[in-house]
Structure 1
Amino acid sequence: MKNLARPILICTVILLIAVLLGIGVGSISISPQESLSILWQALRGLPLDGEGQSIPSVILLTLRLPRTLLMLLAGAALSGSGCAYQGLFRNPLADPYLIGAASGAGVGAVAAMSLNWPSTTLGYLAVPLASFAGSLLAVFLVFRLARVGRTLPVTNLILAGVAVSSFATALSSFMMVNAGGELRRAFVWMLGGSTMSGWKPVLGMLPYTLVGLGALLALSYKLNILQLGDEQAQQLGIKVSRVRTQIILAATLATAAAVAFSGIIGFVGLIIPHITRRLWGGDMRRMLPLSMLCGGAFLVFADVLARVIMAPQELPVGIITALCGAPFFLFIMRQSKEGSW
């Protein structure tokens, strides 16, 4: 691939700016210089438990930095999986929410949380597994409902995804109502945003996100070939069914990890891949890493806005992404009708 270094550099710089804002903005402002100084001291061995530190150090290292990293991972996971779904189905409207993956993940996560909110590292690792199981079940139902013979019409896929997503959301709401004491916390989680603080959620989410996104990056070349059509892909030696299943599993795992720890945050997987495609072309070997970087930056920026718009009260970050994403969704629909995809 030619000229990938420049867009990677641009996206990385944007991401670093977003991270500095994420760890610096709040009720107590921390300047970029002070933030970098604190991070440098931490890398040199300063403990992250807050003992013997200044108030800005405690706030940055124990609250804002893990929250920012969690949003970064969630944004990368959602935008990376959205990019993969759009490429796989060759449709700009496909994303983890429209085909039921995210809503199914929400059911699995709420089911695990209603039993006992995670408080140990093992608990944090178990929640994404339940989320992944719910997401796989939802995607399986969508595929079964949408399939017509041996074909899988995109229109049927999206309609089935909307139906399954609506059912999954209703089921999640029912479980939350019956969950008792954690209803408010679960409700905030459903609107999107981290309700868990500290480093344990980050450590719990990290392995699932790395596996899912790493697999998508490894499959990016085959995903490119699949966009030529099944017959041409088979002629080029691609085992279409196996590769399609691998892509869906990887994207579903990344989505499930994001939903399990950051809640229902819509439109990230729709907006970012579309913008990336417009700016740098449709080569999946280029789009996937750029979408992950830009998605992480976008969600961190959205989280900062959620903190400052109604300060000292915080908005769920899902509200911010919905306000940005709903008009963008209508724009994409209009462009699709005009044949711009």
Structure 2
Amino acid sequence: MASGLPARRRVTPVAVLAGLVVVLLVLMVASAGSGAVAIPFQRVPGLLLSAPVDGQDALWRSVLVEVRLPRLVFALIVGGGLAIAGTTMQALFRNPLAEPGLIGISLGGAMGAVIAIVLNANSLWTMAPAAFAGSLAATALAYKLGGRQPGVAGVLLAGIAINAMCASVIGIFTTQANDTQLRNLTFWNMGSLAGASWTMLAWLGPWVAVLSALLIREWRSMNALLLGEREAHHLGHAVRPLRRRLVVLAALLVGPLVAVSGTIVFVGLVVPHLVRLTTGADHRWLLPNTLAGGAIALTLADWLARTVVIPAELPIGIVTSLVGGPFLLWLLLRKGT
């Protein structure tokens, strides 16, 4: 029996992806023109396409190309990578509240960076490998210990234990730090995109692109995992190798991001859930839409971090926490009603 009400039209995933790309492009132009040196928004595209030799335009182009554009690309890469890794963890654990730090990836990276800073090896080329190694070591240990139990519950419990151990090591090294090291530790732990450079992006961009593509290829397996591991096995998926493959890919993706940007929370939790509410749980579209959504989220957060307290700058981790914390509380209250 017809109700007489018009049928609710569902937004197609392709339309959502197209909309996200448009929003991202507009946001990048707006962010590029904002900051301590204000650049008219309408001048941004022209300055990027031409190369003035002197005057105000030359200054603006120098700021765009050497400072803001690398930072925008950095935000796009880090945000997209964290978001797609969060989507992977949520599929693996079949829990919308899962995120990459759940199995030690983030705190393992923080531990490696803290050790490097306290040992006076606090350049990017020493901190990044140390944080990367810490992420991989923590993830491998969590998987090795937790993999002895059936399902993913063992990996989750092992990750909680590994996180506690990493936090303890961080605390021990922090007590041995001097005033300069403590300042570096504080700002690194709050996250920042200020270290963006074309040299770093030259290797980070392809790394994240390849790993993201490998994760997107697993969309059928992730859809099967949502039904349960037994059902996924009956559908022809080798669950144990699949679980190991997803964990390794997520660790390889997040480890370098934590190494170069510090601790940026909630992006891997909030963005996948928001996109899922819009497009549904089909990972064929959820993964690419989440990639674009993560890029938007961190670009917006970085824009706010740079412009709210000009000429100073807020750590980007504070901005994501201010947004992600209330969202998580709303999500919990919503689930409870």
**Shorter chain as normaliser: what TM range?**
0.7 to 0.9
**Within 5 Å, which residues of 2 pair with 1:1-341?**
3-41=12-50, 54-112=58-116, 114=119, 116-118=121-123, 123=125, 128-143=128-143, 149-153=149-153, 158=156, 160-175=158-173, 178=176, 180=178, 181-337=180-336
The amino acid that maps onto 2:166 is A
**Taking structure 1 as reference, are residues 264 and 228 closer, same or farther at Cα in structure 2, changes over 3 Å only?**
same
Distance 1:149 1:162 in 2: 15
Could you give the per-residue CA deviations for residues 141-181 of structure 1, whole angstroms, max 9, x where no partner exists?
Answer: 4345656742433xx65555444324323423544564654
Q: Which moved more, 1:90-99 or 1:326-335?
A: 326-335
The DSSP-based 3-state class of the residue aligned with 1:98 is helix
Deviation at residue 41 of structure 1 after TM alignment: 2.4
Q: Which moved more, 1:215-224 or 1:174-183?
A: 174-183
- Asked if the contact 2:47–2:57 (Cα under 8 Å) also holds between the matched residues in 1, the reply is no
Q: Which moved more, 1:91-100 or 1:130-139?
A: 130-139
Query: Structure 2-normalised TM-score?
Result: 0.86
Distance 2:295 2:171 in 1: 28
The amino acid that maps onto 2:167 is T
- Asked if the contact 1:205–1:261 (Cα under 8 Å) also holds between the matched residues in 2, the reply is no
- Asked if the contact 1:80–1:288 (Cα under 8 Å) also holds between the matched residues in 2, the reply is yes
Q: Which moved more, 1:162-171 or 1:224-233?
A: 162-171
Q: Which moved more, 1:200-209 or 1:313-322?
A: 200-209
Deviation at residue 294 of structure 1 after TM alignment: 0.8
Distance 2:322 2:20 in 1: 23
Identity %: 32
Deviation at residue 185 of structure 1 after TM alignment: 2.9
Distance 1:241 1:148 in 2: 11
The DSSP-based 3-state class of the residue aligned with 2:35 is coil
Distance 2:244 2:83 in 1: 19
Greater Rg over alpha carbons, structure:
2
Deviation at residue 263 of structure 1 after TM alignment: 0.7
Unaligned runs of 5+ in 2: 1-10
Distance 2:174 2:192 in 1: 17
Deviation at residue 211 of structure 1 after TM alignment: 2.5
- Asked if the contact 1:192–1:263 (Cα under 8 Å) also holds between the matched residues in 2, the reply is yes
- Asked if the contact 1:103–1:168 (Cα under 8 Å) also holds between the matched residues in 2, the reply is yes
- Asked if the contact 1:96–1:255 (Cα under 8 Å) also holds between the matched residues in 2, the reply is yes
**Taking structure 1 as reference, are residues 76 and 58 closer, same or farther at Cα in structure 2, changes over 3 Å only?**
same
Deviation at residue 35 of structure 1 after TM alignment: 1.1
Could you give the per-residue CA deviations for residues 51-73 of structure 1, whole angstroms, max 9, x where no partner exists?
Answer: x9711111111111111111111
**Taking structure 1 as reference, are residues 38 and 206 closer, same or farther at Cα in structure 2, changes over 3 Å only?**
same
Distance 2:285 2:97 in 1: 20
Distance 1:285 1:277 in 2: 12
**Taking structure 1 as reference, are residues 61 and 169 closer, same or farther at Cα in structure 2, changes over 3 Å only?**
farther
- Asked if the contact 1:22–1:65 (Cα under 8 Å) also holds between the matched residues in 2, the reply is no
The DSSP-based 3-state class of the residue aligned with 1:26 is coil
The amino acid that maps onto 2:208 is T
**Cα RMSD (Å) of the superposition?**
2.7
Deviation at residue 256 of structure 1 after TM alignment: 1.0
The DSSP-based 3-state class of the residue aligned with 1:237 is coil
The DSSP-based 3-state class of the residue aligned with 1:19 is helix
Deviation at residue 32 of structure 1 after TM alignment: 2.3
Distance 1:131 1:214 in 2: 23
Deviation at residue 266 of structure 1 after TM alignment: 0.3
Distance 1:321 1:102 in 2: 15
Distance 1:136 1:210 in 2: 19
- Asked if the contact 2:86–2:98 (Cα under 8 Å) also holds between the matched residues in 1, the reply is yes
Q: Counterpart of 2:3?
A: none
Unaligned runs of 5+ in 1: none
Query: Structure 1-normalised TM-score?
Result: 0.85
Distance 1:277 1:60 in 2: 34
Count of residue pairs brought into register by the alignment: 324
Q: Which moved more, 1:130-139 or 1:30-39?
A: 130-139
Deviation at residue 182 of structure 1 after TM alignment: 4.5
The DSSP-based 3-state class of the residue aligned with 2:237 is coil
Distance 1:28 1:191 in 2: 24
